[in-house]
Amino acid sequence: MNKYIRFILPLTIAATACHSEQPVATMKEHFKNDFLIGAAVPVDHVNGLDPRADSIVTMHFNAIVAENCMKSEKINPAEGVYFWDDADAFVDYGERNGMAVIGHTLIWHSQLAPWFACDSAGNYVSAYVLRERMRNYIHTMVSRYKGRIKGWDVVNEAILDDGSYRQSPFYDILGEEFIPLAFEYAHEADPDAELYINDFSMSCPGKRDRYVKIVNDLRDRGLRIDGIGMQAHIGMDYPKIDEFEKSIVAFGNTGVQVMITEWDITVLPTVFTGANVGDIVQLDEKYNPYPEGLPEEVSRAWNERAAQWIDLFKRHSDVISRVSLWGTYDGMSWRNDWPMTGRTDYPLPFDRDYRLKPAFANELLSKN
Ligand code: XIL
């Protein structure tokens, strides 16, 4: 059978399977001997406002991560003011459905509450004050969900692609020490919780080397670190799969778990802004080529690329303990609005009609 026929045949079966609303298998069942399979969940899913997405999450996933509701700007918008409703509902939802609940994220320069590192005049606070605020915040968050959150993304996006430290309020005020401090505080608050460090562009050699060093340094100091999260917000032509694979191997060799934490594959042309989630530009239609649907050849290329990455993750399931998608279906993906607002992207395993795409449907039909 030639390659083309081999690809088309399972597609046909898969399409039937997913239109029937009775998939032959679920992702969590299929990958159960490989890794946890997770999804980022917005509060809409949890609060019953998107029931079809809710069914997808409960049917296919056994790990969830909070898309936004546990970030400091949401949960602790002003000093001493906590808004717990959404995060509480999110954790309840995960527990009710028997899922591993992942906390995201404790120390991150983006979506950081504006008061966190500043005094009332808007100037940076002292190192002493920032340490106290970090300790207090991390203790408050982690203790509240003690025993209920499997693991925390303790520090997010601390390193630049070349391996140097990102300038951020935490780094500017505390230097490199902010990372070990965050891990120390999180472990104090829940000694049983797993603790992770998370970042994007993990295929970059400089970043790879730096994270290996950070993990080794944390352990040399006797601090707990359980895993390295590789976000994996990827595109059709970046990163190179073998560079990403080198990082999986290097991270696995440190002895901690490797996690794919925020996987999605954009099909849209790259818009060069900064790498921060706050770096957003207005819609320019020339960067939005598929507002009405994905041409067949682009869809096929997307599914081929997704299948290659699924294979990659399975090949390394000895070190990869979780693969989490950054969402469930295309209509809800953050990629529709970042780094340019109002585009139409197709980055997730379920399409806008909540149907599983061929790469994943075929995978579920295959013997694992
Ligand atoms: C994104 C959310 O998906 C968006 O809804 C929000 O507007 C910005 O943040 N890296 C991370 C995630 O660690 O927290 C980000 O989530 C995506 C990039």
Instruction: Find, among 59, 53, 178, the residue nearest to 112 by Cα.
Output: 178
Lookup result for tokens 């953050």: 334
Instruction: Please confirm, yes or no, whether 177 is among the known catalytic residues.
Output: no
Kindly report the CA angle at 162 between 156 and 167, in degrees rounded to 5? Answer: 50
- The strand ranges marked E within 108-184 are 151-156
- 273-276: which pairs have CB atoms within 8 A and are 24 or more residues apart? 273/339, 273/340, 275/200, 275/201, 276/109, 276/110
If you take atom 17 of ligand 1, which residue's CA is the nearest one? 277
- Write the DSSP string, 19-68: HTT--SS-HHHHTTTT-EEEEEE-HHHHTTSSHHHHHHHHHH-SEEEESS
Written as six digits, the tokens of 81 are 């003011």
Residue 342, SS3 per DSSP: coil
Catalytic site residue from 67, 157, 184, 194: 157
Confirm or reject: Cβ of 67 under 6 Å from ligand 1. yes
- What distance in Å separates the CA atoms of residue 68 and residue 83, rounded to the nearest whole number? 13
Active-site residue, from 67, 194, 262, 363: 262
Amino acid identity, position 367: K
Round to the nearest angstrom and report the end-to-end CA distance of the chain. Answer: 21
| CA–CA dist 338, 199 (Å, integer) | 17
Instruction: Select from 82, 73, 139 the least CA-distant residue to 112.
Output: 73
Calculate the average pLDDT of the chain. Answer: 93
| Model confidence at 191: pLDDT above 80 | yes
- For residue 71, give the ligand 1 atom closest to its CA: 14
Does ligand 1 lie within 6 Å of residue 324's CB atom? no
- pLDDT grade, residue 100 (50/70/90)? very high
Whether residue 6 is predicted with pLDDT greater than 80 in this model: the reply is: no
Q: From CA 343, how far away is CA 39, in angstroms rounded?
A: 22
Q: φ, ψ for residue 260 (rounded to 5)?
A: -95, 115
Neighbours of 81 (CB within 10 A): 10
Q: How far is the CA of 334 from the centre of ligand 1 (A)?
A: 7
Question: For residue 222, which amino acid is it?
Answer: G
State pLDDT tens for residues 267-326.
Answer: 999 998 877 888 899 999 999 999 999 999 999 999 999 999 999 999 999 999 999 999
Of ligand 1's listed atoms, the one at least distance from the Cα of 326 is 3
Ligand 1 center to 9 CA (angstroms)? 37
Closest atom, ligand 1, to C-alpha of 108? 13
pLDDT per position as a tens digit, 242-254: 999 999 999 999 9
AA letter at 205:
P
Q: How confident is the model at residue 23 (pLDDT cuts 50, 70, 90)?
A: low
- Reply yes or no on whether 292 is catalytic: no
**Mean pLDDT over residues 121-126, rounded?**
97
- Decide if 38 contacts 322 (C-beta within 8 A): yes
Q: How confident is the model at residue 24 (pLDDT cuts 50, 70, 90)?
A: low
Distance (angstroms) between ligand 1 centre and the Cα of 214 equals 23
SS3 150: coil
pLDDT tens-digit map of 65-90 = 999 999 999 999 999 999 999 999 99
